[in-house]
Amino acid sequence: MFPSSRSVSKYKKVGRIGAGTYGTVYRAKEVESGDWVAIKQIKLQSEKEGFPITALREIRVLQQLYHPRIVELREVVTTSDASGVFLVFEHCDTDLGVVVDSVSARSMKLELYQVKSILYQILEGLVYLHDNWIIHRDLKMSNILYNKDGQVKIADFGLTREYASPLRPFTPKVVTLWYRAPELLLTSSSVRKEAALPWKLSYSTSVDMWAAGCLFGELLLGKPLFPGRDELDQLVQIFQLLGTPNNQIWEGSEELLENLRISFSPQSYSLLKRRFPQLSELGLDLLDGLLCFDPNKRYSAVKAVCHPFFDEEPKAAPLQLGEEIL
């Protein structure tokens, strides 16, 4: 499958970084150059199932992309008999989940200028992806890598999809629950009394922008914004903070709210200002625009990255990481 690949023996593993559904990630050093890298060992399925589609998707997408806010796939290497496949990435020091947890463990929160720096870089990465017709579909804290000099890089492209105009239907069962947009939640069969809606729907980059809004809130709070236990509870938490949508603010939402497994009392007001007193009017406008119910009105990456919130004081400045966090 990868006939020109080098051998994984060119790298020496020195420790495990983490493991997921689709593979295990190791910290490693290239023997010849001494460069640090991250190596993802792909979890191969049975011979009948073939090579994992998520890995193929990640390889194909990352081989097309090059941007300072996107993690770099350096090469694909294999074992000598080609039975094992490994993706070699540039090395990053940690991820945002570790950063926020480490800061919170000290009963502290990130400063607003640090949040601005991180969010701005995430949005820069999303502008690049969306300009290249790519939806990430799994933005979350652990998929945003962070270097000690303050650089942010978007990673984990296993759920990525290319989109086009007109939009194609995709499955709603994407995006980790806490970052999943309401249009995905409301069309899921698990929240409805009957499976009247198709299992696929057309959606676009707006699902990434909702996730970016959730990340913005989480960076400010030091904890997840909507930590739902399941899809219904996720909707409950969203509506409690943002109010209940209606056809005036999101056309067709009242129909989506029908025949759910639970009913929602109308709430016409948002509690964002009360939840985030540290934000200026511009900051609240950006957060509200990212967490807009109507995906057609939700802020795009371009609109968000150009928002005047980033021009007002305090100006964005990176969080310098100490050894205690790394």
Domains and CATH numbers, the chain: 6-90 (3.30.200.20), 94-310 (1.10.510.10)
189 pLDDT more than 90: no
127 compared with 44, residue with greater pLDDT: 127
In this predicted structure, what is the pLDDT of residue 87? 95
Catalytic residue status for 35: no
The active-site residue out of 81, 95, 101, 138 is: 138
| Euclidean distance between CA atoms 123 and 225, whole angstroms | 18
Sequence-distant (≥ 6) Cβ neighbours of residue 83 within 8 angstroms: 44
In this predicted structure, what is the pLDDT of residue 194? 63
Rounded to 5 degrees, what are φ and ψ at 15?
170, 155
Q: How far is residue 195 CA from its own chain's centroid? A: 28
What the block records as the tokens of 300 is 């795009």
62 pLDDT more than 60: yes
165, 241 contact by CB (below 8 A): no
Peptide bond into 166 cis (omega under 30): yes
Question: Tokens 């020496």 — which residue?
Answer: 12
Locate the DSSP E strands across 192-304. Answer: 201-202
| Euclidean distance between CA atoms 133 and 63, whole angstroms | 15
Confirm or deny that 12 is annotated as ligand binding: no
Sequence-distant (≥ 6) Cβ neighbours of residue 107 within 8 angstroms: none
What the block records as the tokens of 279 is 């934000």
| Euclidean distance between CA atoms 304 and 123, whole angstroms | 7
145, 92 contact by CB (below 8 A): yes
The sign of the dihedral angle between the CA atoms of 179, 62, 146, 7 is positive
Q: What is the pLDDT of residues 13-32, one digit of tens each?
A: 999 998 766 789 999 999 99
164 compared with 169, residue with greater pLDDT: 164
Which DSSP letter does residue 237 get? H
What the block records as the tokens of 185 is 């939640």
Q: Which of 69, 95, 96 is nearest to 220 (CA)?
A: 96
208 pLDDT more than 80: yes
Question: Which amino acid, one-letter code, is at 131?
Answer: D
86, 171 contact by CB (below 8 A): no
* Range with the poorest average pLDDT among 50-64, 68-82, 146-160, 167-181: 167-181
CA distances 68 to 63, 128, 162, 261, Å, are 14, 10, 20, 44
> How many of the other CB atoms lie within 10 Å of CB of 275?
16
| Euclidean distance between CA atoms 93 and 27, whole angstroms | 10
| Euclidean distance between CA atoms 24 and 45, whole angstroms | 14
Question: Tokens 């820069």 — which residue?
Answer: 124
Q: What is the pLDDT of residues 101-142, one digit of tens each?
A: 999 999 999 999 999 999 999 999 999 999 999 999 999 999
Q: What is the pLDDT of residues 146-165, one digit of tens each?
A: 999 999 999 999 888 887 65
